[in-house]
Amino acid sequence: MANRSEPGGQSRREFLKHSGCLAAAAAALPISRFAHAAGSEVLKVGLIGCGGRGCGAVVNALAVDAAARLTAVADAFADRAQSSLKALRARVPEQVAVDDDHCFGGFDAHRRLLESGVDVVILAEPPHFRPMHIEACVEAGVHLFAEKPMAVDAPGVRRVLAAGEKARAKNLNFVSGFETRYSDAAREAIQRVHDGQIGRLQAIQTTYNTGPLWHRGRQPDWSEMQFQMRNWYYFTWLSGDHLVEQHVHYNDVICWLMHEQPPLHAWGYGGRQVRTEARFGDIFDHHAVVYEYADGTRVHCYTRQQPGCYNENSKRAIGTLGQLQSGRTWSLHNIEGETTWTAAPSGKHPEVTCFEEMFAAIKTGKPINDSRTMAHSTMHAILGRMATHSGQRVTWDEAIQSELVLAPSGYAWDSDPPVLPGPDGFYPVPMPGMTKAL
């Protein structure tokens, strides 16, 4: 059972003006002594979450600034922090300057890293932990890059929004892992849509169909918490389900196309057809969601993780004068209709561009703050999951005001996770028509 806390929330209208409500209160907050000074030459980088994506982000970050140094790493699992540090030392040895006592493990590892004197933190832990780690970074006064998604539930989204306003008041950089927003080709494509080159937008379709992902098995000496943390992708409280963890990249593009306007509501289908073994936790293997907007625009999202099936990664925006088509690769965009346009080839990956722009912003003292859009896109995906898990049509206002917190009662290796297996070893899976969304 999930905990319920943090009463209150935001309506659809309130979400759009949220920043104004918080900025005044946050304006009086002092600038932290840890904020990296404009013009300073060396950036001390810390990594929280030492999986493949975290290590990749470190390599991206160090590649754009020869003076940057990785000075601390942290992960709930000490062995993963150590193995990742070893791999990074082999890959970028001249820029890894992590002392043995700056390789942190445990549920409090992030706090010890923040006390070590870093300037920039890369957050790449399981999504459940993103809101609390974002809050800790902002409180410590460090610049941060947060991998997507930003939360797994509505209270977490609200926490990210609030932290984003505090970061804005402290002049901290708050950069999002929604990489498409840092693609020059995508920026031009979206601007062309906003300029009316495909006419009035009528529908958007996104498809993110892939095969199965990794699984780390179960060791006999692992507690239930260790098993779920090692296999975090397969538990909704940790990943948000794959609609939130993976397809959220496309939810972000939808929100961008729609000028960040929230939908009225969402409904859809989802379930487990082939992901039937107990080891796969409680997430679905397919989702289909329809989002409906006040101006009549309909958005159709499809995502599937099943072996041996047709795979596709694409986005399509359909207007009255033409359509924008985009592939999985960040540089593939073209417009067909009254206007014909194809994006110029680009060899620079937006996962690099985001750090180029972030580090430049740090050194010029002109911070980037993506918190509002990254929170909005995450909530857009969470709304879709609420609809597929419950089988109900869920409004944006209901979703963003939800008080349902997906979290354990405590963070320790012997604590019980919020979902536990039954006597047969199987976890309770959401049942459309029976599961409560809010």
Element (H, E) at 209: strand 201-210
For the stretch 399-436, pLDDT in tens is 999 999 999 999 999 999 999 999 999 999 999 999 99
- Say which range, 19-28, 263-272, 334-343, 381-390, has the weakest mean pLDDT: 19-28
- Structure-token pair, residue 185: 């080709």
For the stretch 36-64, pLDDT in tens is 444 457 999 999 999 999 999 999 999 99
- Give the model's confidence band at 11: pLDDT under 50 very low, under 70 low, under 90 confident, else very high: low
- Give the model's confidence band at 10: pLDDT under 50 very low, under 70 low, under 90 confident, else very high: low
Residues 251 and 180: beta-carbon distance below 8 Å? no
Nearest residue to 26 via CA among 216, 140, 215, 162: 162
pLDDT score recorded for residue 394: 98
Q: Is the pTM of this model over 0.85?
A: yes
Beta-sheet pairing, 312-319 with 265-271: unpaired
Beta-sheet pairing, 322-327 with 312-319: antiparallel
Residues 56 and 131: beta-carbon distance below 8 Å? no
Has residue 20 got a pLDDT over 60? Answer: no
- Structure-token pair, residue 249: 């990249």
Look up residue 92 and give its DSSP letter: S
CA–CA separation, 399 and 378 (whole Å): 12
Q: How many CA atoms lie within 13 A of 394 on its CB side?
A: 29
CA–CA separation, 72 and 98 (whole Å): 5
- Give the model's confidence band at 14: pLDDT under 50 very low, under 70 low, under 90 confident, else very high: low
Rounded to 5°, the CA angle 182-185-190 comes to: 85
| Rg of the chain on CA atoms, in Å | 21
Has residue 30 got a pLDDT over 70? Answer: no
pLDDT score recorded for residue 399: 98
